[in-house]
Structures are given as C-alpha cells and as structure tokens.
Amino acid sequence: MGQTLSDFQVMRQISQVFFTGMMVVAIIVALSGCADLVYYRQAAAGQWELWQARRPIAEVLADATTSPELRQRLEIAQALRDFASAELILPENSSYRHYADLQRTWVVKNVFAAPELNLEPRQWCFLVVGCLSYRGYFDAEAADRLAAELRAAGDDVYVADITAYSTLGWFEDPLLNTFIGWPTGRLAELMFHELAHQRLYIADDTAFNEAFATAVGQLGAERWLKEHGTMRERQEYAADLQRRQQFLRLTAETREQLATLYASAQSAPEKRTGKEHILGALRERYQTFKQDWGGYAGYDRWFTQDLNNAKLAGVSTYYRQVPAFLALFEREGQDFAAFYKAAETLGELPPAEREAGLRELLPTSVSFQRVHTDNF
C-alpha cells in the first residue's frame, strides 16, 4: 500500500487537516527542487480531492438514495472497524468512519522500477517517511510520464493501480468505492492492513512495514471470519489465500531463476534471451494454475501487462518477510498485544540486525506462507 507522512494522528476537522497538510507541503517545498515541487503539489491536490468527496457513514446510511448493496457493505465495514480496535488493538480514531466515491477504480497509481537485468527496485526518498521502493501518484498522467521516462532510460517499469493506502494516522482515511464491494474477508484484511500501518511504521524499511501490515491484515481477517463470518465467507477466503500462496511460490521461483541468470557470467544479450525464456515459462505455468483454479482469472491482468523485473520486485517487497511475522505471532501465543510489542522491538534494531531477527524466525514459519494482495 502507499504510505505518506508520519505515524501519528493530527487534527479532526477538514479545515484543520487541510491547513496542517499544506504546512507539511510548504516545508517540503522549501527543502525540495522544482521537480519535487510538482510532485508534492499533485499529492496535496489529490488528497484534498479525496477529503472533499468523503461523507460521514451515518449520513450515507441515512440517505434514501443509497443503494441497498452499498448500505450493507458500509454496515459490515463499520462492524469491522469496531472489531479492529476492540479485538485487534488497532488505533481507535476516525479512520474508516467516512465514505468517499472517487468515481474511478483506483485511488493512487504506484510506479515501480528496476534495472533491465537486476531485481533490485529503484528507491525514492521523502521527508519523514524515508525511502520507498515506489513513487505514488494521484495524477495518472504524471505517473505515466514518470513511467515513460524510466522506460526510456532502460528500466523495467510497472504502474500499479492501488485501491487503498494509509496516511499513517495523520489524516482520517475514509472507506472508498475502490474496495467497499470486496468480499468480506478481503475487505477485513485490507482495512486491518491499513490500520496496522498506523500502529507501527519504520522509516526507510518498506519491506518490514508491508510485511507487518500484511500479517496483521490476514490474521485479523481470519479471526473475524472465525467469530462472525458465514461458512461461505470462510470458504471463499480460504480459497483466495490458497491461490495467493500458489501465486507467490510461482513468482518466488521465477525471481530465483532470474537472480541466478543475472549473477552469471553470460553476456547482456544472452541474459536478455534467458530472461524472456524464464518469463515465458512463468506465463505458461500460470495457465496450468488457472486450470487447477477452475478458470479463476483474477491474475490475468497481472500476467499480461508489464511482466518484468519491476513487477516481480514489487511482489518481493510486499511479501518476502510475511512468514517471519506470522511465525512471530505464533511465538507470542497468538496475542496481538505481545505480537505488536515484539514487532516494535524488532523495528527499533539497526537495519542489519532487524533483518537478521526476521530471518531467525523463518525456519519455524514454513507453514505460514499466507499473504495479502490488495495491489494486484
């Protein structure tokens, strides 16, 4: 998910929020170049558009023109929001107490990039949050321009349509039309994931932040469905998780093959040929998985558009450390308070020690390869 700004909440009223946001942007602009000025201007404009579109849930529910389908989804979302704070010990604030219809299927577009013959993603650095392995845009044309520039420079590029993101508690994130219609298990996972970013965020460590939030989202969704879900919802979510397991194993194996190829002594042209062969085999294997899934086509777009190093690196960034966090949850007796404390302790370590601490958890986490994929 995209992240912006800092790990604490400010201001309640829209006017106060807007003033605070503009102050942050003004400080950033003062310290940035012209290119950054343009970037932060579109970010501020996009955030303001989102605030303007939101309405209190109570108001939407009381509106006679609200469809029965939307009414039902909002009621479920409010129950999930209560559960998040009461049972998962996630922040109690006004996030997800409003609804906004953006009249489009995405909220931001994230641009990922990686060298043609290297899986290491490019980094972009920002004030407060540090460096991230993507650059997010409310402005679709601006995202496309950056993508074109990166492709012209020789990079592999992937532009992802993102359905939700967290402002890490700075602002009151609303429910959006981009995800409100999702199945209950996926909706729960997404909301808990984004609220988890408000619970813990480590600057300059995208992999840690996303894996932690992914684990919280999944664990919380499973607990909700166990206590409140129907049999059909539990089966639907279990099937979805199984498909995601298989998808991640498939892409992980492909990354390993590409990493071996790129590290070899072959010439650049030979590596390019080998890369195309490996990616072609990935597409073929996916078709086999689709047959096993009864024709489920939810990943078709992912496999047909921009299948390259940038896309594979993005998957790795979000999910590589998830098994370690799931193992940590088990180690802490499936207690969320203890789990958060242990994760915070890991987050306080220097980067190398933090990475080592997560690796130490992996031998006991093989059976916990369960993940969150709201950006596919």
Buried b (16+ CB within 10 A) or exposed e, 150-185: beeeebbbbbbbbbbbbbbbbbbbbbbbbbbebebb
Only one residue has tokens 């003062």, namely: 30
Q: What is the DSSP letter of 65?
A: T
Beta bridge partners of 169: none
What pLDDT does 219 receive? 98
Q: What are phi and psi of 291, to 5 degrees?
A: -65, -40
What pLDDT does 25 receive? 45
CA angle 220, 222, 228 (to 5 degrees): 95
Write down the domain spans for the chain: 2-181+197-202, 232-368
Write out the chain's pLDDT in tens, 376 residues: 433 332 222 222 333 333 344 444 444 444 444 557 888 889 889 989 999 999 999 999 999 999 999 999 999 999 999 999 999 999 999 999 999 999 999 999 999 999 999 999 999 987 666 788 889 999 999 999 999 999 999 999 999 999 988 888 888 899 999 999 999 999 999 999 999 999 999 988 988 999 999 999 999 999 999 999 999 999 999 999 999 989 999 999 999 999 999 999 999 999 999 999 999 999 999 999 999 999 999 999 999 889 999 999 878 766 889 999 999 999 999 999 999 999 999 999 999 999 999 999 986 544 444 443 344 3
Q: How many CB atoms sit inside 10 A of residue 223's CB?
A: 18
CA separation (Å) from 291 to 3, 190, 204? Answer: 36, 27, 40
pTM of the model: 0.83
What pLDDT does 27 receive? 41
Residue 304's contacts (CB-CB under 8 Å, 6 or more residues apart) are none
Buried b (16+ CB within 10 A) or exposed e, 327-350: bbbeebeeebeebbebbeebbeee
What pLDDT does 203 receive? 86
Between strands 54-56 and 98-100, the pairing is antiparallel
Residue 256's contacts (CB-CB under 8 Å, 6 or more residues apart) are none
